[in-house]
Amino acid sequence: MITVGIIIGSTRPGRKSEGVARWVQEIAAKRSDAKFELVDLKDFPLPHLGESLPPELEEDRQAHIKAWAEKISSLDAYIFITPEYNHGPPGVLKNAIDYLYDEWSNKAAGFVSYGGVGGARAVEHLRLVMAELQIADVRSQVSLSLFADFENYSALMPLAHQVDALNAMLDQLLGWAGALKTLRIEATSV
C-alpha cells in the first residue's frame, strides 16, 4: 500500500493550510489505493539552519532531526500544502525540506497551494527544489484562490472544479509513487 504524507507547510497563527490539508485528506480518504496521513510541521520543531553540515554528510543527527527523517522515510509520496508568501513557499516549509536529502529521493510529490493567484508561484519554486531532491513532482495541481475558494478570505469553500483537480493530481501522484516504490525496492534488493 502506498503511504502519502499530506504535509502542512505553514506554522503561522491563523494559518489556512491545516483546513486545506484536512479537506485534501477527506477527499483522499475515499480512495482505496493508498493511505493518507497528515504531517504537520508544527509537530516537528526544526530550528532554522539548525545543522552544522549538509544533510547528506550529517552522521550524528540530533533527536528532532531523527524524528523528522523517520517520518519522511516512512512515506512513499507527499502532498505539499503551501500558501504563497511573497511569491514563494513559507520559509518553514523550505527549512523542513532542507533538513533531509536521501529520505526524499525517488519518491513522488503533488501540490495543493493557495494565495492571491492560487499559490502558483510558491509551487513553481518548490518544483525546482523537488528536482534537486530527485522527487518526481506531478503536473496536475490544485491552486486555490483566496478570492474564489475561501469565504471572506478565511473559510475554505472550494469551488466544485477543485475536487476534480485534486483527484487528477492524486491519480498522477499514486501512479508515480507506485512506480518509484518499485524502483526503491529493486535498488535495495541488488
CATH number at residue 39: 3.40.50.360
Quick: pLDDT tens for 111-166. 999 999 999 999 999 999 999 999 999 999 999 999 999 999 899 999 999 999 99
Per the CB < 8 A criterion, the answer to whether 40 and 8 are in contact is: yes
Q: Which residue has the higher pLDDT, 61 or 30?
A: 30
Look up residue 69 and give its three cell numbers.
527523517
Count of C-beta atoms within a 10 Å radius of residue 161: 10
**Domains in the chain, number:** 1
Overall average pLDDT of the 11-32 stretch: 97
Task: Provide the pLDDT for residue 184.
Answer: 83
Q: CA 133, 137, 139: angle at the middle one, nearest 5?
A: 155
Which residue from 48, 95, 41 is spatially nearest to 71, judged by alpha carbons? 41
* pLDDT of 99 above 80: yes
Per the CB < 8 A criterion, the answer to whether 169 and 110 are in contact is: yes
**What is the distance between the alpha carbons of residues 135 and 31, in angstroms, rounded to a whole number?**
23
Q: What is the pTM of this model?
A: 0.93
Its domain, for residue 135, covers: 2-189
- Amino acid, single-letter form, for residue 148: A
Classify 99 as helix, strand or coil: coil
**What is the distance between the alpha carbons of residues 118 and 82, in angstroms, rounded to a whole number?**
10
φ and ψ at 38, to 5 degrees?
-80, 135
Task: Provide the pLDDT for residue 63.
Answer: 83
**What is the distance between the alpha carbons of residues 159 and 148, in angstroms, rounded to a whole number?**
7
Which residue from 23, 31, 38 is spatially nearest to 157, judged by alpha carbons? 23
Look up residue 167 and give its three cell numbers.
483527484
Quick: pLDDT tens for 47-91. 886 666 665 666 666 788 899 999 999 999 999 999 999 999 999
* pLDDT of 40 above 70: yes
Task: Provide the pLDDT for residue 54.
Answer: 63
Overall average pLDDT of the 24-35 stretch: 97
Task: Provide the pLDDT for residue 65.
Answer: 87
Helical (H) or strand (E) element with 155:
strand 155-156
* pLDDT of 18 above 90: yes
